[in-house]
Amino acid sequence: MGITPLRFTGVSQFSQDFQVIVDRTVQIASLPAQLLMNDQQRLIEQKTAMGTLRSAVASLSSSLDELKELGASKALSATVSSSKVRVTLDTSAAEPGVFTISEISSLARRAVMTSASGQASETAGPVAGAGGYLQLVVGGAAHAITLAPDQDHLAGARDAINALGAGVTASLVTADDGVYLSISANQTGAAAIELRTVEDDPGSNLLAVTQAGADAVLKVNGQTVTRPENYIEGAVPGAALTLNALTEAGETITVDLASSRAPLANALKKFATVYNALNEQLGTASTGALAGSSLVKDLQGRMRQIGGQFGEGLVRNLAEIGLPFDQQGVLTFDELSFNLLSAEKFESVFSFLGAEQGGLGSLAGSFREFSDPLTGFMVAEIRSYDEADSRFQTQIDKILERVNSTQQTLLARLQAADVLLARLESQQSLLDASIESMRFSLYGRNDR
């Protein structure tokens, strides 16, 4: 809400004075509102600065998490010699090693069965045995079905099978010569499906094989592995294999799990970037909108912890892994130095970064305390800014409302007074002129 300027429209000789007075009154009345607006503006700047800072802290926390994870997993990555196998690493469980995949003799697939003979229509029957009896067998598990006389047809059998929840789905296929019942397994695997009209009598099976179900079969390091699906866990520690195709005779696929410098180098480079960005923002914040903020001081303290990070192995500080500070406290990633680290020192980098206690990455949590979008200190601070801003706005609105009301009331009264004065002054002029004329008529002159 703003102050609406008003113009005084009086006609007396005092109207100009009145306008000056009204303007002055409004100007003075606006002062507290202006002061509040200034405070509000300062709050908005603080909130914006805190939001920007939170984002930078979150980036650093995320980067430290990444370093911790790479350290814990020893930056393992998988190299696979063929696209017939895809590897998904669980870096928390994987170990370095070489694995050979051979003789992928079968890929897992779903079983599909179709009734050997068709019916004239969906509701033609009967399809069940005596008393409406059917027995569905899925991978050796038998399920008894009894169809009511009015449901003893293909559609009735389909609905009854689907209602069982036996891991298969029944549907009807309409061909040129009739309607057929088709049953598909919901999962891949070698489990067979039968639909018998006589209990435990394979000879009464109504279904013919359209596609036999199959397990995935392969050899890992020469040992046979059989699984009902093509996503194979547990055969290689910490690595899930996805089979895409069969191998040729004599073909061997190599899965090489080894520590790689490239992802670590990328992560360290990113870490240097986000560290410097936060450091710079803290410097700006401490002299700007967030000057004096205890949160900024705390964060600066935690940044110093990073600089003072000390390792107990072959790698003792950041500079030794190619992350030296310059004289201005700017962190630079020297990729060449990192790549020239000896194999022993490279191994030690992992504990320097990923150790649960004292590793560089373990500092991520101390930054997340600030940046967490739900429970972080900085979000709480931003909320308090919002609340203060809301209080300010309420005060400003009240003051401005009163200023406008005061202005309107005073203006109305001043205008009324001015109109009255103007009329009286005009009448007085007329009366004075009349008296002057009368004196002239009575005395021949305008004074006595």
Partner 1 sequence: MDQAERAIEKLEVANQALADGRPEALALRDEALRRIAGLAVSEAQLCRIEELAAAGLIAIERVRSDRAAILRELQEAEAALHFAAALTGRAGAAVVDVQG
Looking at the Cβ atoms of 292 and 308, the one nearer to partner 1 is: 292
Looking at the Cβ atoms of 5 and 140, the one nearer to partner 1 is: 5
Least CB distance to partner 1 at residue 238 (A): 47
Per CB under 8 A, the list member of 92, 200, 441, 445 interacting with partner 1 is: 441
Per CB under 8 A, the list member of 328, 336, 442, 444 interacting with partner 1 is: 442
Total of chain residues touching partner 1, rule CB under 8 A: 53
Looking at the Cβ atoms of 28 and 144, the one nearer to partner 1 is: 28
Per CB under 8 A, the list member of 3, 8, 11, 14 interacting with partner 1 is: 14
Least CB distance to partner 1 at residue 20 (A): 11
Least CB distance to partner 1 at residue 47 (A): 11
Residues 31-70 that bind partner 1 (CB under 8 A): 31-32, 35-36, 39, 42-43, 46
Question: Is 1 a residue that touches partner 1 (CB under 8 A)?
Answer: no
Looking at the Cβ atoms of 223 and 441, the one nearer to partner 1 is: 441
Question: Is 399 a residue that touches partner 1 (CB under 8 A)?
Answer: yes
Q: Is the dihedral of CA 235, 237, 243, 248 positive or negative?
A: negative
Per CB under 8 A, the list member of 134, 403, 444, 446 interacting with partner 1 is: 403
Least CB distance to partner 1 at residue 346 (A): 45
Q: Which stretch binds partner 1 (CB under 8 A): 217-225, 239-247, 352-360, 437-445?
A: 437-445
Least CB distance to partner 1 at residue 87 (A): 51
Least CB distance to partner 1 at residue 362 (A): 29
Least CB distance to partner 1 at residue 407 (A): 9
Q: Which stretch binds partner 1 (CB under 8 A): 167-175, 237-245, 353-361, 396-404?
A: 396-404
Could you tell me the two tokens for 188?
Answer: 């891949």
Least CB distance to partner 1 at residue 369 (A): 17
Question: Is 292 a residue that touches partner 1 (CB under 8 A)?
Answer: yes
Amino acid code (one letter) for 322: G
Question: Is 297 a residue that touches partner 1 (CB under 8 A)?
Answer: no
Least CB distance to partner 1 at residue 303 (A): 20
Which is nearest to 33 in space by CA: 448, 392, 424?
Answer: 392
Could you tell me the two tokens for 244?
Answer: 């895409």
Q: What are phi and psi of 304, to 5 degrees?
A: -65, -30
Q: Indicate the pairing of strand 178-185 with strand 193-196.
A: unpaired
Q: How far apart are CA 398 and CA 265, in angstroms?
A: 59
Question: Is 431 a residue that touches partner 1 (CB under 8 A)?
Answer: yes
Least CB distance to partner 1 at residue 431 (A): 5
Q: How far apart are CA 371 and CA 59, in angstroms?
A: 9
Residues 329-388 that bind partner 1 (CB under 8 A): 381, 384-385, 388
Question: Is 304 a residue that touches partner 1 (CB under 8 A)?
Answer: no
Which is nearest to 161 in space by CA: 127, 118, 124, 125?
Answer: 127
SS (H, E, C) the chain: CCCCCCCCCCCCCCHHHHHHHHHHHHHHHHHHHHHHHHHHHHHHHHHHHHHHHHHHHHHHHHHHHHHHHHHHCCCEEEEECCCCEEEEECCCCCCCEEEEEEEEEECCECCEEEECCCECCCCCCCCCCHHHEEEEEECCEEEEEECCHHHCCHHHHHHHHHHHCCCEEEEEEEECCEEEEEEEECCCCCCCEEEECCCCCHHHECEEEEECCECEEEEECCEEEEECCCEEEEEECCEEEEECCCCCCCCEEEEEEEECHHHHHHHHHHHHHHHHHHHHHHHHHHHCCCCCCHHHHHHHHHHHHHHCCCCCCCCCCHHHHCCCECCCCCECCCHHHHHCCCHHHHHHHHHHHHCCCCCHHHHHHHHHHHHCCCCCHHHHHHHHHHHHHHHHHHHHHHHHHHHHHHHHHHHHHHHHHHHHHHHHHHHHHHHHHHHHHHHHHHHCCCCC
Per CB under 8 A, the list member of 120, 209, 340, 424 interacting with partner 1 is: 424
Looking at the Cβ atoms of 22 and 94, the one nearer to partner 1 is: 22
Question: Is 3 a residue that touches partner 1 (CB under 8 A)?
Answer: no
Question: Is 435 a residue that touches partner 1 (CB under 8 A)?
Answer: yes
Per CB under 8 A, the list member of 430, 444, 446, 447 interacting with partner 1 is: 430
Question: Is 410 a residue that touches partner 1 (CB under 8 A)?
Answer: yes
Q: Is the dihedral of CA 402, 404, 410, 412 positive or negative?
A: negative
Question: Is 190 a residue that touches partner 1 (CB under 8 A)?
Answer: no
Interface positions with partner 1 (CB under 8 A): 14, 21-22, 25, 28-29, 31-32, 35-36, 39, 42-43, 46, 292-295, 381, 384-385, 388, 391-392, 395, 399, 402-403, 406, 410, 413-414, 416-418, 420-421, 423-425, 427-428, 430-435, 437-439, 441-442
